[in-house]
Amino acid sequence: MHPTLKGIVMDISLFMNTGILSIARTAAKFYLTDKKNRRFITDFTPQLTKNAKIRAEHENKGIHVPPFLIASIASRCNLHCAGCYARAEGACSDHEQLSEMNTHHWENIFNQANNLGISFILLAGGEPMLRKDILTLASNYPDIIFPVFTNGTLIDEQYIELFHKTRNLIPVLSIEGTTADTDLRRGAGIAEKLCQVMSALKKHHILYGTSITVTHNNVEFVTSRQFVDDLQNQGCGIIFYVEFVPVEKGTESLILSDTDLELLNTSVNALKSDCQKMIILSFPGDEASMGGCLAAGRGFFHINPTGGAEPCPFSPYSKLNLTQSSLVEVLQSDFFEKVRAIEEKADIHQGGCTLFANRQEVESI
């Protein structure tokens, strides 16, 4: 690895490792009054340090291992949300893809990730709750945290029991802001269903998060202190703010303007400072402090339901498949190296995603 590039990578690793430990400390504050959960965080925090050391050992060998993976474990979904990027890109439908990876394939990937010191694997879809076999498998890897990004409608008593028993699975519920906004995008009655799920999770002292797509229309509301306080009162401990990406034509009016982005960044920084018991993250907003886009293995990469290794969910292009290649082979692939080069020289863009804004260049690789 070129000395200058190695220095940049080490700076990224240090920043992300520091951020991860900060997340753990915040989670410990959330669990302050819950003995079982506090013990889990206390036991897991040393593992974060151990994982960072494992990744550093690989770094010294010229292999940069990111602390995160994003794994779309299901190609099917039970909802038809307006503006869904997964459906727009053909990655999600009403039917399971015949080539979707089985439990054995995912077990192999989780084993590799565990050995490489990867600390977080974000599970998505489709709707990940349709793959209980994979969620049950993930619960057997206590050294990895699995945030599960879900529409929440399939969380029943059995899933509540699974989340209560295995604290390394953290449900993250997708909402839009107001009840009306959530129902408008996801379907009538969905907001009420999510309120019931939140109540059940809070009752069992289960740490859960919310994922909010931030648009020009809702940015002021969803970043308000009142909105965040209401979520905290409902037991929510994590908020993921995800900038809107215009995957469908005719949705450009929802893109965050420069003024919106300034409001989002200012509000998120204030919330992080004021809400000490909540984990508040912004994507890709937090990437700005890390030198830009983190896709293609710089900070994470995406695995689609059939095993394709993609730079990012918003950049669904793959050259290697994890049913045939290893995580290390993907991370060191020419394709990912060329994508990272695009990230480094990318201009300022609109729409929340560097690679989406430069998708034609990625497609041409």
* pLDDT, tens digit only, all 365 positions of the chain: 443 334 434 445 655 666 676 677 777 776 666 777 777 877 888 898 999 999 999 999 999 999 999 999 999 998 877 767 676 666 676 666 668 999 999 999 999 999 999 999 999 989 999 999 999 999 999 999 999 999 999 999 999 999 999 989 999 999 988 888 888 888 889 999 999 999 999 999 898 999 999 999 999 999 999 999 999 999 999 999 998 887 777 778 888 998 999 999 999 999 999 998 888 988 876 566 556 678 888 889 999 999 999 998 888 889 999 999 999 999 999 988 888 887 766 655 444 567 666 676 766 67
- Domain encompassing residue 85: 3-363
For residue 213, give the CATH number of its domain.
3.20.20.70
The predicted pLDDT at position 5 comes to 38
| Structural Rg of the chain based on CA atoms | 19
The predicted pLDDT at position 31 comes to 67
Q: What is the pTM of this model?
A: 0.88
Q: 3-class DSSP state for residue 348? A: coil
The predicted pLDDT at position 286 comes to 55
| DSSP output for 304-346 | -TT-BEESBTTB---S-BTTTS-HHHHHT-HHHHHHHHHHHHP
Which residues, other chains included, contact 60 with Cβ-Cβ below 8 Å and sequence gap of 6+? none
Q: 3-class DSSP state for residue 222? A: helix
Decide if 324 contacts 92 (C-beta within 8 A): no
The predicted pLDDT at position 116 comes to 98
Token representation of residue 186: 């996801």
Provide the number of structural domains found in the chain. 1
The predicted pLDDT at position 287 comes to 60
The predicted pLDDT at position 45 comes to 84
Question: Cα–Cα distances in Å, from 92 out to 80, 84, 97, 240?
Answer: 10, 9, 9, 22
The predicted pLDDT at position 14 comes to 58
Residue type, 247: V
- Give the total residue count for the chain: 365
